[in-house]
Chains A and B, each alone.
Chain A
Amino acid sequence: MPRLSYRRALTRALADELARDEAVFLLGEDIQVGASLVTTGLAKRFGVDRVRDTPLSEQAFTSFATGAALAGLRPVIEFQIPSLLFLVFEQIVNHAHKFPLMTGGQCAVPVTYLVPGSGSRTGWAGQHSDHPYSLFAHVGVVTVVPATPADAYGLLVSAIRHDDPVVVFAPAGAMDVRDDVSDLEPVPLGRGRIHRFGDDVTVVAVGHLVHDALAVAEELADQVSVEVFDPRTLYPFDIDGLTESVARTGRLVVLDDANRSCGIAAEIIASVVERVRLLAPPRRVTRPDGAVLPFAPALDRAVQPSREQLATAIHLTMKDSS
C-alpha cells in the first residue's frame, strides 16, 4: 500500500476537486509557489487563473470568495496561519454564513477555508499558534479537524463539495503524519470515527491529539481499556456516535487543543451528560484559559495539552468511579 503524508493528502484533494469541477478555484497568499507546501504544483497544472495569489488583503479576498460563491463558483481559500481567521471572522460569520438565511434561501455560499498548519508550530510564538476551531462551532459554521491522511483527503473533498461554508483546520501537529492509504474517498461531514475500541473510558481527541490519545491508550493498555473517539467534524458534531461509545464505557475524557473556557471540550462534555449518566465526573485536558502561546519552546509545550495530563485524567476518572 502507498504511504501518504497528511500534507500530500490535502494536495491530492485539492487537485482532484480542481480536476473534477471547473467551478472550484483556489485563492490565497503565496499559493502559486506553495509556501505552505500544500498547493505545490497546482498553479502549473491548473493555471494561475484557478490558483490565484492574492495581496495581503485577507478581508477583501475572503469576501471576494463569498461573492464568487454567490455567482456559482466553489472557492477554496488557504490561510497560511490560523490567526488570520480572527481578521476575517466577520466576513465568514456575518456574510458567508448568514446569507442563506438572511436571503430567505435565495443563495448558497459554498466556500472552503483551509488552514494548513493550525495550532502550535514550535517557535512561532503568540500570533501564529492559535487553534480557534471552537469559535466556528459556536457560530454554527461547519468545522472539521482531520487527524489522519485519509481523513484529511476525504474531509477536504467533502468540504469543497458542501453547499455551506466549511473551515478545515489541518493541525501543524498532524501535517507530517504518514499512513498506508489504499482508497481515497470522500468522508462524510459530521461523522466521527472510533480509532481504537475499549471498555473503560472514552477519550475524545481533536485533530493531531488523536495520535497522542492512541499512544496513551497503548501505554495504559495493561491498566485500563481506552476507547479513542475522533469526532473529525466539530460542527455539526456526531453526538449520536459519541453517545453510543460513552453509553458503553460510562466514562469520558476530552483532549482538546483549544482554550478551556467555552472550548469545544466543554460543549462535548455538556452534550454527553445531557444524554448519558456517567460512572464518574467527566474530565477535559485543554490549553489553559485564555492561553497565549509563549515563544520559548518549553513554555509553548507547557500550555499545550500533554500525554502526561491525559494519562493523569484517565487515571483520575477511573479512580473517581471505583
Chain B
Amino acid sequence: MTDADPVRLYRTVRLIRRFEQRAVELVHGGQIVGGIHPYLGQEGIAAGVCAALGTDDVLAGTHRGHGHVLARGADPARMFAELCGRLTGLNAGRGGSMHAADLSIGVLGANAIVGASGAIITGAVWARRRQGHDTVGVSFFGDGAVNEGMLLEAFNLAALWRVPVLFVCENNGYATTMPVAGAVAGSIAGRAAAFGIRAVEVDGQDPEAVRDAAAAAVDRMRAGGGPELIEARTYRFDAHHTFEHAVRLDYRPPDEVTRGRARDPVHIQGERLSDADRAAVDAEVEATVDAAVRFALDSPEPDPADALTYLYASGMTARTGGG
C-alpha cells in the first residue's frame, strides 16, 4: 500500500512548503486572521507517514496540522478557504487553521490541546476494525504533548487493547518556547518502551526515511501488531505561531536556527529527482497553490445568522444570546 514514488513524495513536501509560505503571506496581508502555526521545516514527516497509509486509514493531529491534512490528500483550495474562514472551506469556515478536518479522507481533525489525538484515534481505529475494516491510525503530536497525561493514558490503552495506532512524535525541539531538555524527563522513546510500545527514532528531515519507518510500522500493525511510536527529529523553520513575526521571542540561538534550516526536507527530497522532474512538480504545485488561493479569496464568507449552524448534529437548536 506504501507509495514508494519519490516524485509524488517530493510533490507533497513541496506542496506543503508552498502552501505554508503563501499562508504566512495571507496572515501578513490580513486575509487569514488569528495567525497560523506554520508546518515549515516539518513537511517530510506528514508526507512520509501519509505515503505509508491506505484509503481506510485515519489520522488526527494538533494545531500545527496543515501538513497532515494536505499530505493526506485534502483539496488545497478548500484548505486555504478554511484558513480564510470561507464557506467553501473544509469545515465551512467553522474550524480555521487549528482545526481543519476532512473526515471523507480519514482526517479526524486537529486539536489545540496537543495530547488529545492519541485516544481519539485509538477509539476510531478500534471502532473501524470492529466494523470489519483493516484500518490503522496515526496520531501526530509534538514533543510538548509527551508530557500530557491523556496521551500517556492513550499509549497504555492502545497497547493494552492492541489497537494499531502509529504514534508519531514530531520532535522539533521546542514546546512553544520550552526546549525539550527543560520539559522531558527520561526520553520520548522511553515513554513508549514503558508501555511495551516499539519505538524508533528517525530523521524527520528525510521524507523517505520517515516513509520507510512508517511503512515498516504499518506493515507490522496490519499483521496484527500493536501500536508503535516514531520519534521524528525535526526542526521548525519558522515561528511557533505567526504572532512571533510581530513579537520577537528570544529562545532559539541564531546559529541553531541556521543549522536547523540547513537540513531542508524539500531540498533533501528534491535532490532525488531529475532537474526536469523537479521543475515540472514545482510548476504544477505553483499553479495549484495559485488557483487554491484565488479560490479561497473569491469564496463567500459565511452568514453571521448561521454562526451556530452545526452546533448540534442532532439538529437541536440553541437559544440566541440577545435580550
Instruction: Spell out A's residues near B (CB within 8 Å).
Output: 49, 54-55, 57, 59-73, 75, 90-91, 94-95, 99-110, 140, 142, 162-164, 190, 236
Contacts and interface: CB of A to CB of B under 8 A. Distances in A.
B131 A64 contact: no
B94 A164 contact: no
Interface string B120-146: 111111111011000000000000000
Contacts of B109: 99, 102-103
Interface string B300-323: 000000001111111110100000
Nearest to B95: A102
Nearest to A71: B127
A101 B310 contact: yes
Contact of A67 (B120, B149, B310, B315): B120
Contact of A59 (B92, B95, B122, B150): B150
A162 B120 contact: no
Given A91-B150, A102-B91, A57 B156 contact: yes
Contact of B103 (A49, A95, A107, A164): A107
27 contacts: A49-B130, A60-B118, A60-B153, A62-B119, A63-B116, A63-B154, A66-B123, A67-B119, A67-B122, A68-B126, A71-B128, A73-B127, A91-B116, A91-B119, A102-B91, A102-B109, A103-B95, A103-B99, A104-B91, A104-B95, A106-B102, A106-B103, A106-B104, A162-B314, A163-B312, A164-B312, A164-B316
Contacts of A142: 316
Contacts of A110: 313
Interface of B: 58, 89-95, 99, 101-104, 108-109, 111, 113, 116, 118-128, 130-131, 149-150, 153-154, 156-157, 160, 308-316, 318
Contacts of A70: 103, 108, 120, 123-124, 127
A269 to B, nearest CB: 16
A243 B127 CA distance: 43
B157 A95 contact: no
Contact of B313 (A61, A68, A73, A105): A105
Contacts of B150: 59-60, 63, 91
A108 B313 CA distance: 5
B94 A163 contact: no
A104 B124 contact: no
Contacts of A99: 109
- Specify which of B94, B104, B149 lies most central, judged by the most chain A CB atoms within 10 Å of its CB: B94
Given A64-B154, A104-B94, 12 more contacts: A63-B119, A63-B120, A70-B103, A70-B120, A71-B125, A100-B310, A101-B308, A102-B95, A103-B91, A106-B102, A107-B313, A108-B313
A79 to B, nearest CB: 15
A125 to B, nearest CB: 25
Contacts of B308: 101
A54 to B, nearest CB: 8
A105 B92 contact: yes
Nearest to B129: A71
B102 to A, nearest CB: 8
Given A59-B153, A60-B154, A70-B108, A105 B309 contact: yes
A107 B131 CA distance: 18
Contacts of B119: 59-64, 66-67, 91
Contact of A104 (B130, B310, B316): B310
A244 to B, nearest CB: 18
A54 B128 CA distance: 19
A68 B103 contact: no
A68 B314 contact: no
A162 to B, nearest CB: 6
A288 to B, nearest CB: 28
Nearest to B150: A59
A67 B93 contact: no
A102 B119 CA distance: 19
B318 to A, nearest CB: 6
A122 to B, nearest CB: 32
B123 A140 contact: no
A75 B127 CA distance: 10
Contacts of B95: 102-104
A191 to B, nearest CB: 13
Contact of A57 (B89, B123, B153): B153
Contacts of B89: 104
Contacts of A95: 111, 113, 116, 120
A236 B120 contact: no
Contacts of A67: 108, 119-127
